[in-house]
Amino acid sequence: MKQTWALKVERFGKIKQGEIDIAPLMLFVGDNNSGKSYIMSLLWGVLSEGRKLFPKDPPATSVYKEIDQFLESAIDRGCLIGDQEAQMFVTWFNDVLRTKKSEFVKTIFRRKIPIGSLSIERYGRSKPLRVIFEKKDSLQGTRFSTGKDYIRIPYTDRSKGQVTERYRMAQYITWNLLMDGLTSPLYPPR
């Protein structure tokens, strides 16, 4: 696990405020009826269902526009995403969580439960993530892939100028920065 982060929750069920540090082994200990199962279910939801939260179309938010510009300038040369660059992607994912938290909670628990806030905090990586952009003649039969400390993203001259293609890249990079090694990969739809 190269990344560290905490899931922060406020005003959720019996929980006024809490943070769960992501680790290879996590124990939830506490009194009966104190909210452990709720928190565990919420964490499970972020890990397994969080990929479904990304909007269908590229958002018009300033945070996402910053990511889009970053990717547009990096496509021809590749890049390293250290903690500072990663914070853009984490901030964007937090925007998505903030916007969709109520429907997300309803999906996980099958009923409406009020939630004040839900966010990823204290993100860090032990090693920067290398993004390798691989130029191809065609995207037919290609896919995004990951390896140890890198992501490989195929592109064509045509696709690098497409907003929707950069949006797919942004989703894939965001998911890998946060969830690499914790859950299954995300393959954004074309």
Please give the pLDDT value at position 181.
76
Best CA proximity match to 123, nearest among 84, 70, 80: 84
Residue with tokens 């993530």: 129
- What token pair was written down for 153? 């993203």
- What's the predicted TM-score (pTM) here? 0.92
CA angle 62, 65, 71 (to 5 degrees): 150
Q: Find the Cα–Cα–Cα–Cα dihedral 169, 20, 97, 78, rounded to 10°.
A: -20
CB 154 within 8 A of CB 140: no
Instruction: Tell me the residue type at 98.
Output: R
pLDDT at 91 (0 to 100): 98
Burial 155-166 (b: 16+ CB within 10 A, else e): bbeebbeeeebb
**DSSP for 1-17?**
--EEEEEEEEEETTEEE
The CA distance from 140 to 152, in Å, is: 15
Question: Nearest CA to 164 among 152, 155, 151, 177?
Answer: 155
Can you give the pLDDT at residue 160? 86
Q: How many angstroms separate the Cα of 98 from the Cα of each of 13, 93, 120?
A: 17, 9, 10
Q: What is residue 180's predicted lDDT score, i.e. its pLDDT? A: 87
Tell me which DSSP letter residue 102 carries. Answer: H
Q: Are 29 and 45 in contact (CB under 8 A)?
A: no
- pLDDT reported for residue 184: 63
pLDDT tens sequence for the chain (190 residues):
789 999 999 999 999 999 999 988 888 898 999 889 999 999 999 999 999 999 999 999 999 999 999 999 999 899 999 999 999 999 999 999 999 999 999 999 999 999 999 999 999 999 999 999 999 999 998 999 999 999 999 999 998 899 999 999 999 999 999 998 787 666 666 6
Pairing of strands 129-135, 150-155: parallel
